[in-house]
Amino acid sequence: MKSFHIAIVGATGLVGEKIREVLEERNFPINSLRLFSSERSKDVTLLFRGEKIPVETLPPLDRNSKFDIRHSKFFVGVDIIFFSAGKEVSNAWVPIIAKNGSLVIDNSPAFRLDPEVPLVVPEVNPEALSNYQKGIIANPNCSTIQMVVALHPLHKVARMKRIVVSTYQSVSGYGREAVEVLQKETHTILHRSKFSSDSYPFPHSIAFNIIPQIDDFNEKGESLEEWKMVEETRKILAEPDLRITATCVRVPVFTGHSEAVNVEFEKKITAEEAREILTHSPGVRVIDDPENSKYPLPMDAAGKDDVFVGRIREDLSVESGLNLWIVSDNLRKGAATNAIQIAEHLFSAD
């Protein structure tokens, strides 16, 4: 693999920070690294491989802004840009960057359902990387990634008919602000002190609570997070008619998303067969010994790149169903690591 000129947009956010960390851990071949963030991070420097790298400010730009030739040349010479700065920023910047020859791996939902943009989980649909005409590859939603990594090996054996998933998603899925709010709220409640936030990230208090809403609701009553899980899973698996329903819940956990998944298959697959298949599946680690209280926990998954699966058992209410408990670090496999694996897979032959 040759060396690349790399940039991270959103470098001071939780996912951007994790991308930098994982690039170093995996010894990704980097010729140069540029870091970008908003004006709030002006004059900040970040460490990478022992070197202090200044964070550059990304100038504001939206679709209504007058086009400036400087914007088209801002990333000239950069081979791969890991974009983790939110949907609005991606919508404004990513097409400009890609048009000028850089490959963008975008972590926002901006292009995930664009039929001309691959939506990729390397363990599941690497063949989608053969065609990225727009110069953009979309990184799926964190909760979608861990579910399809666990279900795809079973789908290849017994073809899924229906998926019912309930998620228990950590606050870091929202961002650094949400992590800080949970810390401060918890301290406030335990010490009976006062806490207020100028921009509260959730519709209700999150400490010692759960909130059955992630993102806004659509006209059908689904949250956008639930809608994303359905549509992204169908696209990744190339199963546009697969029946899927989701309920997404925010829980007071700092890192790691958990999912209770019920799957109905076209033919019977036993729990024992499923354990054997998943034990030998890439990116999956089976922890399934409930009699000894061994099953995946978000605390144990934090800092790791595997998707952990346990509580594998047959659904006795249907002929061919399974229940699974799936846990993963949402900042790593659910975002940073998956994006870097995309780049590794794409350029491994170079």
Catalytic site positions: 142, 257
**CB contact at 8 A, 256 and 298:** yes
**How many other CB atoms are there within 10 angstroms of residue 260's CB atom?**
15
**CB contact at 8 A, 268 and 320:** yes
Strand, helix or coil for residue 221: coil
Burial annotation 209-226 (CB, 10 A radius, 16+ → b, else e): eebebbbeeeeeebbbbb
Amino acid in the structure at residue 145? I
**How many other CB atoms are there within 10 angstroms of residue 134's CB atom?**
16
**CB contact at 8 A, 307 and 324:** no
Type and span of the H or E element at 57 = strand 51-57
Q: What are phi and psi for residue 228, nearest 5 degrees? A: -60, -40
Tokens of 86: 């939110």
The total number of residues written for the chain in this structure: 350
* DSSP characters over 238-288: T-TT-EEEEEEEE-S-SS-EEEEEEEEESS---HHHHHHHHHTSTTEEE--
Q: Residue 241: which residues within 8 A CB-CB, separation 6 or more?
A: 234
| Token pair 């060396």: residue | 3
